[in-house]
Amino acid sequence: MTASAFIHRFEPARDAGSPPLLLLHGTGGDENDLLGLGKMISPGAALLSPRGRVLEHGMPRFFRRLAEGVFDEDDVRRRAHELGDFVAEARKQYGLAAPIAVGFSNGANIAAALLLLKPEALAGAILLRAMVPLSDPPNADLAGKPVLLLSGQADPIVPASNSARLTTLLSEAGARVTHKVLPAGHQLSQADVTLARDWIGNVAAEAA
Q: Which residues are catalytic?
A: 105, 155, 186
Whose CA is closest to 103, among 92, 90, 87, 85? Answer: 87
Cβ count within 10 A of residue 134? 17
Q: What is the DSSP letter of 4?
A: G
Backbone angles phi, psi at 74, to 5 degrees: -65, -40
Cβ count within 10 A of residue 205? 9
Q: What is the DSSP letter of 68?
A: T
Cβ count within 10 A of residue 12? 11
Those residues with Cβ within 8 angstroms of residue 94's Cβ, 6 or more apart along the chain or in another chain? 3, 10, 12, 46, 48
Size (the chain), residues: 208
Cα angle 19, 25, 29 (rounded to 5 degrees) comes to 145
Contact 85, 1 (CB under 8 A): yes
